[in-house]
């Protein structure tokens, strides 16, 4: 913000205060509360946890007494985070979480007394962000959720970076194959082959990898037919 000499100092200060108040209102009202689905087979504890979560600024959109229909409930309500504390979480729970993790991943916090290493590994593979081998404590639930969300965001960033790297590698391989075909069948050098692909990409309004796939489809088939004729 630039100070206008035409304004009195009092007016300028009032204007700054107004802008600061406006910025504060935007920041505090535009951020929606984190929506949590609570799955707990202990009614009294569940009610206490919900009260504590609301007091901490979270929104509890559903309290489920069991994991029955968990996948359906998640798909219907689309929570920002799933908090699970069950006496005996079965593998059907992990199967539901695995489906969610594959198509629409969300941070999941699971409290369980199950200390079997195989089960814990399966839980993590299914998408459980934080696995706590203890009973859910209403007084300590907020920092656990904060940590789970941070871990989830970090993991998703790494996952996206890995997906991007794989996509770039696949695109590079396709482009290289197309260039090799152009060089072999038209007797041109690599630079000319790359320029040809780039021109084709612009003229046909396709990305460079898409243009390369078109070249492979056409010239690759031609090369195959030529080989068959030579064998005949």
Q: For residue 13, what pLDDT is reported?
A: 54
Which residues have C-beta within 8 Å of that of residue 213, sequence separation ≥ 6? 174, 178
Q: For residue 230, what pLDDT is reported?
A: 46
Q: What percent of the chain has pLDDT over 90?
A: 17
Q: For residue 32, what pLDDT is reported?
A: 83
Decide whether 31-139 matches 171-231 in CATH topology. no
Angle (deg, nearest 10), helices 91-103 and 70-77: 30
pLDDT, one tens digit per residue, over 94-128 is 898 999 888 889 999 998 888 888 988 999 999 89
Question: What is d(CA 54, CA 60) in angstroms, rounded to the nearest whole number?
Answer: 7
Q: For residue 221, what pLDDT is reported?
A: 63
pLDDT, one tens digit per residue, over 178-188 is 999 999 888 88
Q: Into which CATH architecture does domain 31-139 fall?
A: 3-Layer(aba) Sandwich (3.40)
**Bridge partners of 59?**
35
Q: For residue 133, what pLDDT is reported?
A: 83
Residues in the chain with pLDDT values less than 50 = 1-5, 7, 12, 24, 26-30, 224-232
List, as own/partner pairs, every contact residues 30-33 make where C-beta atoms lie below 8 angstroms and the sequence separation is at least 24, other chains included: 33/57, 33/58, 33/59
User: What CATH class is the domain 171-231?
Assistant: mainly alpha
**Strand, coil or helix: what is 62?**
strand
Locate the domains of the chain by residue range: 31-139, 171-231
């Amino acid at each position: 913000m630039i100070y206008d000499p035409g304004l009195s100092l009092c007016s300028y200060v009032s204007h700054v205060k107004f802008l600061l108040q406006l910025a504060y209102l935007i920041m505090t009202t535009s951020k929606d509360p984190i929506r949590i689905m609570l799955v707990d087979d202990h009614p009294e504890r569940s009610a206490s946890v919900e009260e504590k979560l609301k007091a901490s600024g979270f929104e509890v959109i559903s309290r489920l007494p069991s994991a029955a229909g968990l996948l359906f409930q998640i798909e219907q309500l689309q929570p920002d985070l799933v908090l699970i504390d069950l006496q005996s979480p079965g593998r059907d729970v992990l199967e539901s979480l695995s489906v969610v993790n594959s198509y629409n991943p969300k941070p999941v916090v699971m409290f369980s007394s199950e200390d079997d290493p195989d089960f814990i590994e399966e839980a993590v593979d299914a998408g459980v962000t934080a696995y706590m081998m203890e009973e859910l404590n209403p007084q300590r639930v907020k920092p656990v959720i904060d940590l789970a969300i941070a871990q989830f965001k970090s993991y998703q960033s790494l996952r996206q970076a890995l997906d991007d790297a794989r996509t770039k590698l696949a695109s590079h391989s396709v482009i290289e194959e197309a260039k090799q075909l152009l060089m072999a069948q038209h007797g041109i050098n690599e630079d000319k082959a790359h320029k040809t692909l780039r021109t084709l990409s612009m003229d046909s309004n396709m990305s460079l990898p898409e243009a390369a796939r078109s070249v492979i489809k056409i010239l690759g088939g031609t090369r195959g037919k030529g080989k068959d004729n030579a064998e005949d």
